[in-house]
Copies of this chain bind each other. A is one copy, B any other.
Amino acid sequence: MKQNNQHDKIKVAIVGGTGYTGVELIRLLSAHPHAEVVLLTSRSQKGTPVADIFPSLRGVTDLVYSDFDDTANSNSLAELTKCDVVYFATPHGVAMTQAQGLVDAGVKVIDLGADFRLQSLEAFEKWYKQPHVCPDLLKQAVYGMPEVNREALKSARVVGNPGCYPTTAILGLKPIIDAQNTSEQAIVNSHIVIDAKSGVSGAGRQAKLDLNYAETTDNFKAYGVTGHRHLPEIEQGVNELLASSVQHHIRFLPHLVPMIRGMFTTIHLTLTDFGKTQDLQAIYDKAYDDEPFIDVLPHGQLPDTRSVRASNRLRIAVYQDNERGEATSLVVHDNLVKGASGQAVQSMNVMFGFDEPCGLELVPVVP
C-alpha cells in the first residue's frame, strides 16, 4: 500500500497533525487521486513518524512530523510555501498568524480552527477572547461549506472550515430559509431551538479528566449552557449567509453523547399559517437533489448517526405536523468527516477544480 507519488498531484501540508482532525485528513487524503500530503507538522512530536503515534497508519504513510515554528519568517513558513494548500488542524489562534504569508506566496489556506469562520471581528473577539491579527484577510475568507458557497470557493484563497455543530444547523435549516426568501413569507416562526448532541471525539485528542473513559461512559450531559462558540457561527450562517428574510432567534444547546463519532442535531420549529400550507418534505428533497453528500431521507424514515459513520454524508429528515403546528429537522453527520476534515477536503476539491467527491466516496462503516 505504498503511496503512488504521481507528478500531477497537488502538494498538501497539514499543520497540527496529532489531533483527530489531522489524522482524519491523512486517512482521507491517502486515498485521494489528485492530492498528496507531503508535510506534516507538530511541535510536540518533531521527528516522530506519524505511524508511531497512530499505528493505524502503519503501512499507509511514512510521513514524519516536522517542527512548526509560528514566528514570522521562520523556516516553517518557507517549507509550507512549497505546498499548494495548507490545512491548519490547530486550535484557534494559530492559522491567522501564518495565513497572510501563505496567501502572499500563492498557497491556499484551509483552517479547520475558528480563525476564519466569523466574519464579524467583534464577534470573533468576544467569543475567542483575543484580537484577530489579519482582519483584512478575514474579509476575503470564504466560509467553507460547498452547499452554500460553492461559487465563492472556486476562487477562495483562505477558507474557514465550518464548525461541526454549525454545519448541521445551517444545512438543516437552509431549505426552509431559502424557501422563505423565495416566497417572501415566513414558513416557521422566528424562535428556533437547536438541541444538539455530539460524540466525544468532538472534544479533541486531549488528556483531560472529564474525557476519561470512566467519567464519560454510561453518562450523558449538556455543556455550554450559558453560550457556546458555535452559536454566533450558527446565527451568522442562518441570518447572514443564508440571507434570511426573517431574523431568527436561535437557542443552541449542545450535549455530550457516550459515542466516539457522530453528531445528531434536533431542530425544533413551529409553523406559521403559511408554513402549514407548504410541503416541507418536497422543499427539502428539491433543495438537495443535486448535492453529492446531502441525503434527504424519505417521509417517515429517521436518521441515526451510525448510518454516516466514517463517511462524508450528512442525512436529514424533516417532520411536519400541521395540526400541532410543529416541524422538526433532524440532521446527522460524522463530526470528524462532514463536520471537519471531510468538508475541508470537499472544499479543496472545489478550490482546485477536482470532482467534488474525490477521495470522499467512503461507504459508512456499519456496524
Contact = CB atoms under 8 A, between A and B. Distances in A.
Interface of A: 1, 20, 23, 26-27, 30-31, 54-60, 191, 193, 195, 197, 199-201, 203, 205-209, 211-223, 225-226, 249, 251, 253, 255, 257-262, 264, 266, 268, 270, 292, 295, 297, 301-311, 313, 315, 317, 319, 321, 324, 326, 328, 330, 332, 336, 357, 361, 363-367
Contacts of A212: 200, 205-208, 211-213
Contacts of A195: 193, 195, 266, 268
B20 A261 contact: no
Contacts of A328: 225, 251, 253
A213 B197 contact: no
Nearest to A292: B1
A178 to B, nearest CB: 22
A205 B213 contact: no
Given A295-B59, A361-B1, A217 B217 contact: yes
B217 A218 contact: yes
Contacts of A58: 295, 297, 307, 315
B1 A219 contact: no
A220 B363 contact: no
Nearest to A202: B214
Given A56-B307, A207-B207, 5 more contacts: A27-B365, A205-B215, A211-B212, A213-B213, A220-B304
A310 B259 CA distance: 17
A183 B28 CA distance: 45
A353 B167 CA distance: 44
Given A1-B361, A30-B363, A251-B326, A220 B60 contact: no
Contacts of A324: 249, 251
A367 B259 contact: no
Among A54, A59, A212, max chain B CB count under 10 A is at A212
A58 B215 CA distance: 17
B214 A260 contact: yes
A55 B307 contact: yes
A319 B56 contact: no
Q: Nearest 7 pairs between A and B by C-beta?
A: A221-B304, A56-B364, A195-B195, A214-B367, A213-B216, A219-B306, A207-B209
A260 B213 contact: yes
Given A20-B214, A221-B302, A197 B200 contact: no
Given A223-B302, A302-B221, A304-B219, A266 B255 contact: yes
Contacts of A208: 207, 212
